[in-house]
């Protein structure tokens, strides 16, 4: 147990005198800002900066750095750090066991960091990165070198000797050169996670769920956060039908899981996610395993749908096709499970149909009489005479319905979804993000509202859309088929007395 450190001081926001690395962590958890922690008049700023970086890396909040294990001991760092209390109790002026300030393992590759705040200590002839590179290079180990400094532009502009420059170029090529701006951004990620535990519980959490986990910290894209915030606002004022109208490969699965995670925290227990494309279920499951943000979400796949116990809490994944086969027994199972929310992914494929609406979205066969023009979500159907379903009955059984698609015009009309509950992200939005200027920012603000500027100014979000897939319009081509048809007709017209192609069309 940790002496004198068993509680946090958030209520009184007491600043801990920073004698060891644990004191810096306590100040981070007590909601002090980066600048407040760095304004330490007693200690060297370099020691505080290094400690902040180490904690951000350990907590998987440092954007661009992930690990499966943290290595400790002297080189070759053959031990796994299995208890962060060792780091917690280290003096702020700790002399590390090896040449690096922290060494992590990611997919069997050592990534070893030098952390330097004072640029004067970075010699033009030799730095820690040279020592690190030489040490690892001479021991036949797969490795990468990382460097965290105060200002990476000054490092890039400095004139080093040829060998040193080569190491620095390698660091850049691996995207492992960071500076104070990156640290501040990652610090915001740490604060947004809103850890609310005493220090013993926090360190236990790190030991249990971070040190030996391949899960990454999720860095949200701007449009994901924007749609997420819009959804929260609409949900909290009572809207129960929503549409994620977002282009393919824009991260809809992650956005859906963000919403699901929020809903679970708001008290919902059971959520059904169904899709017309079975392969997307694998995408959801991969994201659940990849990101630490979703570590508490439980799920069941459709193979076990009929065996789900009534006390199950979590996500149930299944396909639209699965629920439409033997729908009566499955509809009864839906009623017994009592889902709080249904999310329909790829809703443009087979979900906006009468059968889906009747057999899946509706639990009870309750129809309203004397309302001939009123139908579910305002939709009229000429084929089925009795489809008038009481909307309140549906909302009573299915408290929340969310649709998601890249091509969702049909869904908008079919379910009559309110415009403010449609969260769009289109190809031209990406084009504007790739070419942000004053006019484009003004356009995006008018299109998406003030929430766009809020997210644009949030440094913890990923606003870089330069690597997003481009929209390519594919046109069908029949080549010289028409020419061949004309030639065939001319060749055979004398023989048969008519155009073969014309006869084909007439038939």
Q: Are 434 and 464 in contact (CB under 8 A)?
A: no
Q: Are 275 and 346 in contact (CB under 8 A)?
A: yes
SS3 content of the chain, % helix, strand, coil (to 5): 45, 15, 40
Q: Where are the domains of the chain?
A: 21-209, 239-427, 475-507
Q: Alpha-carbon distance 61 to 71, whole Å?
A: 18
Provide the residue-wise pLDDT of the chain in tens; the chain has 507 residues: 444 455 555 555 788 889 999 999 999 999 899 999 998 767 788 999 999 999 999 999 999 999 988 988 766 666 788 899 999 999 988 765 567 889 999 888 999 999 988 766 555 455 678 888 888 887 778 899 999 999 988 876 666 666 678 888 999 999 999 999 999 999 998 988 878 668 988 999 899 888 888 888 888 999 999 999 999 999 999 999 999 999 888 899 999 999 999 999 999 999 999 888 788 899 999 999 999 889 889 999 988 888 888 789 999 998 877 877 776 777 777 778 888 999 988 764 544 455 555 555 543 333 333 333 333 333 344 333 222 233 334 345 677 999 988 777 777 877 788 999 999 999 999 999 999 999 999 999 999 999 999 999 988 889 999 877 665 655 656 556 666 666 666 666 555 555 444 434 433
Q: Alpha-carbon distance 16 to 35, whole Å?
A: 15
pLDDT the model gives residue 170 = 92
Provide CB contacts within 8 A for 454, sequence distance 6+: 229
Burial degree of 54 (CB within 10 A; 0-12, 13-18, 19+):
buried
Q: Mapping DSSP to helix (H, G, I), strand (E, B) and coil, where does residue 165 land?
A: helix
Structure-token pair, residue 370: 């004397």
Q: Are 245 and 422 in contact (CB under 8 A)?
A: yes
Q: Are 298 and 260 in contact (CB under 8 A)?
A: no
Q: Alpha-carbon distance 397 to 335, whole Å?
A: 8
pLDDT the model gives residue 302 = 86
pLDDT the model gives residue 459 = 81
Cα 80 versus chain centre, distance: 28
pLDDT the model gives residue 494 = 53
**Phi and psi torsions of 245, nearest 5°:** -95, 85
For the chain, report the end-to-end CA distance as a whole number of angstroms: 88
pLDDT the model gives residue 359 = 52
pLDDT the model gives residue 226 = 97
239-427 CATH, one of 3.40.640.10, 3.40.50.300, 3.30.70.890, 3.90.650.10: 3.40.50.300
Residue with tokens 């579910």: 376
- Written as one string, the DSSP assignment of 386-448 is ---B-HHHHHHHS-EEEEEESS-HHHHHHHT--GGGEEEE-HHHHHHHHT--HHHHHHHHHHH
Structure-token pair, residue 66: 């992930």
Q: Alpha-carbon distance 220 to 217, whole Å?
A: 9
Burial degree of 184 (CB within 10 A; 0-12, 13-18, 19+):
middle
Q: Alpha-carbon distance 2 to 409, whole Å?
A: 58
Q: Of all helices (H) and strands (E), which one includes residue 482?
A: helix 481-496
Of 216, 273, 263, the residue nearest 240 (C-alpha): 263
């Amino acid at each position: 147990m940790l002496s004198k450190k068993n509680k946090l001081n958030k209520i009184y926001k007491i600043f801990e005198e920073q004698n060891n690395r644990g004191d810096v962590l306590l100040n981070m958890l007590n909601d002090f800002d980066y600048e407040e922690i760095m304004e330490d008049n007693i200690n060297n700023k370099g020691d505080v900066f290094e400690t902040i970086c180490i904690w951000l890396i350990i907590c998987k909040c440092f954007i661009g750095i992930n690990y499966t294990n943290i290595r400790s001991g002297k080189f070759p760092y053959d031990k796994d750090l299995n208890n962060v209390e060792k780091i917690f109790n280290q003096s702020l002026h700790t002399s590390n066991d090896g040449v690096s300030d922290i060494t992590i393992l990611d997919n069997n590759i050592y990534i070893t960091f030098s952390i330097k705040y004072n640029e004067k200590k970075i010699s033009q002839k030799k730095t820690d990165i040279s020592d690190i590179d030489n040490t690892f290079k001479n021991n036949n180990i797969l490795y990468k070198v990382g460097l965290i400094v105060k200002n990476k532009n000054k490092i890039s502009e400095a004139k080093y000797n040829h060998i040193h420059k080569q190491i620095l170029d390698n660091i850049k090529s691996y995207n492992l050169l960071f500076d104070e701006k990156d640290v501040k951004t990652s610090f915001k990620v740490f604060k947004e996670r809103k850890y609310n535990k005493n220090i013993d519980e926090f360190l236990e959490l790190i030991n249990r769920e971070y040190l030996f986990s391949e899960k990454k910290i999720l860095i949200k894209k701007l449009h994901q956060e924007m749609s997420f915030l819009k959804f929260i606002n609409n949900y909290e004022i009572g809207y129960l039908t929503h549409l994620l109208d977002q282009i393919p490969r824009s991260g809809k699965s992650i956005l859906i899981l963000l919403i699901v995670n929020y809903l679970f925290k708001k008290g919902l227990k059971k959520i059904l996610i169904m899709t017309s494309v079975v392969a997307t279920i694998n995408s959801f499951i991969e994201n659940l395993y990849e990101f630490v943000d979703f570590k508490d979400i439980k799920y069941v796949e459709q193979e076990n749908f009929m065996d789900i116990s009534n006390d199950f809490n979590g996500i149930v994944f299944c396909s639209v096709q699965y629920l439409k086969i033997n729908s009566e027994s499955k509809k009864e199972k839906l009623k017994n499970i009592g889902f709080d929310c249904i999310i329909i992914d790829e809703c443009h494929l087979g979900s906006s149909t009468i059968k889906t609406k009747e057999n899946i979205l509706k639990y009870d066969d309750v129809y309203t009489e004397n309302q001939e023009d009123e139908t579910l979500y305002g939709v009229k159907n000429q084929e089925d005479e009795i489809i008038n379903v009481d909307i309140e009955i549906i909302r009573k059984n299915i408290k929340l319905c969310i649709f998601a698609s890249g091509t969702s015009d049909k869904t908008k009309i079919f379910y009559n979804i309110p415009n403010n509950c449609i969260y769009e992200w289109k190809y031209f939005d990406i084009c504007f993000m790739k070419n942000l200027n004053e006019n484009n920012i003004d356009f995006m603000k008018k299109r998406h509202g003030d929430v766009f500027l809020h997210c644009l100014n949030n440094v913890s979000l990923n606003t870089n859309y330069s690597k997003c897939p481009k929209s390519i319009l594919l046109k069908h081509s029949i080549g010289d088929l028409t020419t061949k048809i004309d030639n065939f007709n001319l060749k055979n017209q004398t023989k048969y007395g008519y155009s073969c192609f014309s006869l084909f069309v007439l038939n």
